[in-house]
Structure 1
Amino acid sequence: MMTKSWILAGCMMFAFSNATSTNLLQERNIPLNLALEIAESSVQACAKDGYSVSAAVVGRDGILRALLRADQAAIHTPEAARRKAYTSASSRTATSAMVKNIQNPGASQLVSIDDFLILAGGVPIKVGNETIGAVGVGGAPSGDLDEACALAALRKVAGKLD
């Protein structure tokens, strides 16, 4: 009886190890050159409207890939931009949608997650349905204007996200 148990356990371990070792995880991420282009385009889009902002781009893992601060951007804007990007990459949604969602009692605790900044201005960078990073903008007079600059930058590079 003991031998059958060991043989069965061995077979299960072999089957499990073969199944997991042959299915390597492959993930796409935002490359540095594209992260820089998105950050620069975000800052430029806001500058056209007279806003001095900072723009941050993070990879799918929320780690900073690029950060640019316009000459006259306020001192708090680089960190705000980074945290908006981090929040968007983590949630895989625009932070403006999260602002609306925290009105629901069940979602109100999102504001207590470390490093989250639930203000409009963070937008996921997607290839199809896969989030490969996020851009965050901070410094315009409202989060909606920050988000508009981020979206303008993403439209500009849309052909490179294939």
Structure 2
Amino acid sequence: MSLALANRLADATIASCRAIGKESVVAVVDRGGSLVALQRGDDVGPHNTLAAQRKAFTALSTKSSTSVLAQRSVDDPTSRNLVTVPELLLLGGGMPLTVDGDVIGGIGVAGSGGAANDERCATQAILQVLGQGSARR
């Protein structure tokens, strides 16, 4: 995950959220979970910065969207303990970043008015920057 790619993803995410009249925080992590890029829109609560980072880490680590993971923790008794792992945030808005079938990082969005908006902004940015097939849940 280059800095240039991470910044393109962050820029596209902020623009996607603004297109629906929302501000947000976006975090992009590399395949090792290290933060590469972080952008925060105007007037977004400070707790959303950490939430975006944790969503990005969770999506990378589990190779799953955080909304799917959140639902799995409710529906599958064997997954319920995931909520006890402090590094994971089971709240929609995190997506793994996939190129040619390989997970190269994760993106997390927070503060745009709910998990559905957060995921929408992330998904649109991924499609714009990485192309079709990269924004799988």
* TM-score, length basis structure 1: 0.78
Q: What is the CA-CA distance between 1:75 and the residue it aligns to?
A: 1.2
- Aligned partner of 2:23 in structure 1 is 52
1:92-113 Cα offsets, whole Å, 9 max, x none, are 1100100110011110111111
Matched, 1:35 2:23: no
Identify the match of residue 71 of structure 2 among 79, 96, 100. 100
Q: What is the CA-CA distance between 1:131 and the residue it aligns to?
A: 0.3
Identify the match of residue 87 of structure 1 among 42, 48, 58. 58
> Gaps spanning 5+ residues in structure 2: where?
none
- Aligned partner of 2:32 in structure 1 is 61
Q: What is the CA-CA distance between 1:128 and the residue it aligns to?
A: 2.3
1:68-111 Cα offsets, whole Å, 9 max, x none, are 00012111111110000000000011001001100111101111
- Aligned partner of 1:75 in structure 2 is 46
Query: What CA distance in whole angstroms lies between the structure 2 residues aligned with 1:54 and 1:133?
Result: 17
Matched, 1:149 2:114: no
Which residue identity lines up with residue 130 of structure 1 in the other structure?
D
Q: What is the CA-CA distance between 1:136 and the residue it aligns to?
A: 0.3
Name segments (4+ residues, structure 1) moved above 4 Å.
Answer: none
Identify the match of residue 130 of structure 1 among 92, 102, 109. 102
Query: What CA distance in whole angstroms lies between the structure 1 residues aligned with 2:5 and 2:68?
Result: 25
1:23-45 Cα offsets, whole Å, 9 max, x none, are xxxxxxx1110001101111111
Give identity over the alignment, percent: 36
Query: What CA distance in whole angstroms lies between the structure 2 residues aligned with 1:75 and 1:44?
Result: 20
Higher Rg: 1
Query: What CA distance in whole angstroms lies between the structure 2 residues aligned with 1:128 and 1:93?
Result: 16
Q: What is the CA-CA distance between 1:137 and the residue it aligns to?
A: 0.2
* TM-score, length basis structure 2: 0.91
Q: What is the CA-CA distance between 1:52 and the residue it aligns to?
A: 1.2
Query: What CA distance in whole angstroms lies between the structure 1 residues aligned with 2:22 and 2:99?
Result: 29
1:116-143 Cα offsets, whole Å, 9 max, x none, are 1110000000012210001000012210
Question: What secondary structure, in the 3-state scheme, does the structure 1 residue paired with 2:78 have?
Answer: coil
